[in-house]
Structure 1
Amino acid sequence: MLIELTDSLKSLLKETATQLKGAAKRRFQAQTVMGLGYGGQLIAQNEFGWDRKTIRKGIKELTTKITCVDNYSAKGRWKAEEHLANLLEDIKKLVDSHSSY
């Protein structure tokens, strides 16, 4: 089945994808790509700007019926004190050795 991608359809699909998050977005993208047929991933990447890795993950979730859990809380930058436990002490030693009382 071949679907004609008009400008209004492209706009609708892009807008819908931006409104969704996580697994729901991947599921929507995967279903859309599967509906496009052969070459759908490449079409989605070029026409909608969707990431092919995300699409593949969505397709795997659809076919296996297993949804990957997103760990958004693990994203971001760690505090320096968390991965450099002696940082504060080392800074104090440096400053104390160069300061005079």
Structure 2
Amino acid sequence: MELRVPLKTLCTETAKSLNSRARRLLRARTVQQLGPGDQRRAERALGWNRLTMRTGLHTLTRGFGCLEALSARGRKRAAVHVPALLDDRRAIVDSQRHTDPPCRTQRLYTRLRATEVRRQLMAQQGSQDHELPTVPTLTVTRNARGSFPKKVAQ
């Protein structure tokens, strides 16, 4: 038995509108109505993950759901929240980068501190204070990129 297109769209659109626990329960109830062994058919026809359907079926049969580890997923990086941040910051910092003055290493250094980079982002890009990441976040991204601050002899 093949699933009809209106039924497919109803199931997928309804599942998209629900949160994770309710979505699992909807998928489990749908698979129960389709009959035994229809997890594979639902996986092929609707694009649902069978492990998610099994988790929902366990929730239905046992009466309590599994705990979700949402806090274990962590925070998104600053570049996800502000996509153009890396390019804008790179343009500001690259103009001030130089190698080690005695040329003993290949490390690149910059005179700009994270506070100055943040100030220049606000001045040049017209960004507001609340739109930009904090100074510690900019420091971490700068160090991860391999651009370390160094005092220059005057």
Query: Which residue of 1 is the match for residue 54 of structure 2?
Result: 56
| 1:38-57 pair list within 5 angstroms | 38-57=36-55
Query: Which residue of 1 is the match for residue 5 of structure 2?
Result: 7
Structure with more relative contact order (C-alpha pairs < 8 Å, separation 6 or more): 1
Q: Does 1:27 align with 2:25?
A: yes
Which residue identity does 1:49 align to in structure 2? G
CA-CA distance at 1:4 after TM superposition:
5.7
Q: Which has the higher strand share?
A: 2
Between the two proteins, the alignment pairs up a number of residues equal to: 86
In 1: Cα distance, 2:62 partner to 2:74 partner:
30
In 1: Cα distance, 2:40 partner to 2:2 partner:
15
In 2: Cα distance, 1:30 partner to 1:23 partner:
11
Q: Which has the higher helix share?
A: 1
In 1: Cα distance, 2:2 partner to 2:76 partner:
47
In 1: Cα distance, 2:22 partner to 2:57 partner:
12
| TM-score (ref. length: structure 1) | 0.69
CA-CA distance at 1:71 after TM superposition:
2.4
Root mean square deviation of aligned Cα = 2.5
Query: Which residue of 1 is the match for residue 63 of structure 2?
Result: 65
| TM-score (ref. length: structure 2) | 0.47
Which string of whole-angstrom CA distances, capped at 9 and with x for unpartnered residues, describes residues 20-62 of structure 1? 1111000000000000002210111000000000000000000
In 1: Cα distance, 2:49 partner to 2:7 partner:
19
In 2: Cα distance, 1:48 partner to 1:33 partner:
11
After superposing on structure 2, the runs of 4+ consecutive aligned residues of structure 1 that deviate more than 2 Å are: 76-79
